[in-house]
């Protein structure tokens, strides 16, 4: 069995590469102070929009700041927001899913219809409305980027709960006198973990993109904090003349999102018996 899984994993080179890339991003983010020569916000206006050089390996941006430093420090923001956003949508989504799956039909339809309402809105529009309504700042940003993921977690959890609640071990637990909360968290939830992890990985890609999208529009992370979307937004004015300033943060963003998606797809294949041969 174990050997079989490993063999499958080897087949999923994409997933492994995704995991490696993600680990590299995490390492970069953690080691940011050690990896950078220039401060991310140190501005040298007289040397702005310089092409890559020995001193500035990826060139300088429109205010003469080191693009490499800003990308590295920006990874902290992106990863942090990713974790916070996924945690927000995951925790709320799973709780609502358990509630919907294990309580009566009335609560269930209430929860699920609420989720339908949430899914009606396009994710970026919902995020813009929320940031505008809640005001700027990191907490409201987390809500804005996380809210779209909630229904996905809820629906997934509920679907699994519905099949699990009929299984013998859940019935046995109930017969043994376990209380509803005990059944939910002790017996049902652990058996949903795999698909939820997959879902979480896939949602993180969207969350990273949404954070950068909001920042691009000026609604997310505020200057001078280095953030990829903000960097792209500021540099796009010089896209024709100095493409490097918009290209590198774009590449950093693209690579992370591809890695997260590859990892999510691979994990799904790995954990889902239907995809395993």
Partner 1 sequence: MTVRWQRALAMVVIAGLIVAMAGCVAKPGTPATSDRPVTGGVLTFVQGADPVTLDVHRTTEFMSYRVTSQIYENLIMLGTDGTPKPGLAESWQMSPDGLSCTLKLRQGVKFTDGTVFDAAAVQANVDRILKTTPALPARRLLADVKNLEVIDAHTIRFDLSKPLSLFPYYLSHPSVGMISPRALSELVDQLPTTTVGTGPFVLKEWVPKDRVILNRNEDYWGQPAWVDQVIFRPAPEAATRTVMLESGEADIVANVPPAMVSRLRANPAVEVLVAPYARVTFIALNNYRGITADPKVRQALNHAVDKQAILERILFGIGVVSDAPVASGVEGYSRVGTYQYNVARARQLLAEAGVAPGTKVTFFTPSGRYLMDYEIAQAVQGYLTEVGLDVSLETLEWAAFLSNVSKVPDESIFDLALLSFAPGTNDPDWHYSNMFHSASWAPKSNNRCFFADPRVDELLELARQKPSAAERAPLYEQVNKIVFDLAPWIFLHEEQQIYGLSLRVQGVEPAPTEMVYLKDAWLKVK
Q: Which residues bind partner 1 (CB under 8 A)?
A: 41, 43, 45-46, 48-49, 62-64, 218, 222-224, 234, 237-238, 240-241
Q: How far is the CB of 46 from partner 1 (least distance, A)?
A: 5
Q: For residue 86, what is the enclosing H or E element?
A: helix 67-102
Cis peptide before 224 (omega within 30 of 0): yes
Please report how close the Cβ of residue 220 comes to partner 1 at its closest, in angstroms. 12
DSSP state of 219: S
- In DSSP terms, 60 is beta-bridged to 66
Nearest distance, CB of residue 240 and partner 1, angstroms: 6
Nearer to partner 1, 98 or 127 (CB): 127
Secondary structure (DSSP) of 100-164? HHHS-HHHHHHHHHHHHHHHHS-HHHHHHHHHHHH-SSHHHHHHHHHGGGHHHHHHHHHHHHHHH
In the complex with partner 1, the residue whose CB is nearer, 43 or 103, is 43
Taking the complex as a whole, the smallest distance from the CB of residue 42 to partner 1 amounts, in Å, to 8
Nearer to partner 1, 245 or 262 (CB): 245
CB of 60 to partner 1, least distance (A): 10
Nearer to partner 1, 220 or 266 (CB): 220
Instruction: State the burial class of residue 119 (Cβ atoms within 10 Å of its Cβ: 0-12, 13-18, 19+).
Output: middle
Q: Closest CB to partner 1 among 122 and 223?
A: 223
Residue placing its CB nearer to partner 1 in the complex, 41 or 103: 41
The nearest distance, CB 249 to partner 1, in angstroms, is 16
Q: Could you give the CA distance from residue 80 to residue 68 in angstroms, rounded to a whole number? A: 19
Residues facing 66 on adjacent strands: 60
Please compute Rg for the chain using Cα positions.
22
């Amino acid at each position: 069995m174990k050997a079989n899984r490993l063999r499958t994993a080897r087949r999923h080179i994409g997933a492994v590469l995704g995991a490696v890339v993600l680990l590299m991003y995490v390492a970069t983010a953690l080691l940011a102070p050690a990896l950078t020569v220039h401060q991310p916000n140190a501005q040298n206006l007289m040397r702005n929009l310089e092409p890559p050089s020995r001193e500035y390996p990826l060139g300088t941006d429109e205010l003469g700041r080191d693009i490499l430093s800003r990308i590295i420090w920006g990874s902290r923001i992106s990863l942090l927001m990713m974790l916070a956003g996924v945690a927000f949508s995951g925790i709320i989504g799973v709780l609502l899913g358990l509630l919907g799956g294990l309580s009566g039909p009335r609560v269930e339809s209430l929860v699920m219809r609420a989720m339908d309402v949430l899914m009606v809105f396009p994710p970026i529009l919902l995020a813009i409305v929320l940031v505008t309504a809640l005001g700027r700042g990191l907490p409201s940003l987390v809500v804005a980027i996380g809210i779209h993921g909630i229904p996905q977690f809820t629906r997934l959890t509920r679907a699994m709960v519905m099949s699990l609640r009929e299984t013998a071990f859940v019935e046995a637990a109930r017969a043994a006198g376990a209380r509803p909360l005990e059944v939910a968290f002790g017996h049902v939830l652990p058996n949903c973990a795999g698909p939820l992890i997959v879902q979480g990985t896939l949602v993180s890609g969207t969350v990273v993109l949404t954070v950068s999208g909001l920042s691009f529009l000026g609604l997310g992370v505020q200057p001078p904090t280095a953030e990829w979307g903000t960097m792209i937004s500021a540099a796009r004015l010089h896209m024709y003349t100095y493409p490097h300033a918009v290209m590198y943060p774009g590449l950093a963003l693209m690579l992370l999102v591809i890695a997260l998606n590859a990892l999510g797809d691979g994990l799904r294949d790995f954990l889902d018996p239907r995809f395993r041969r």
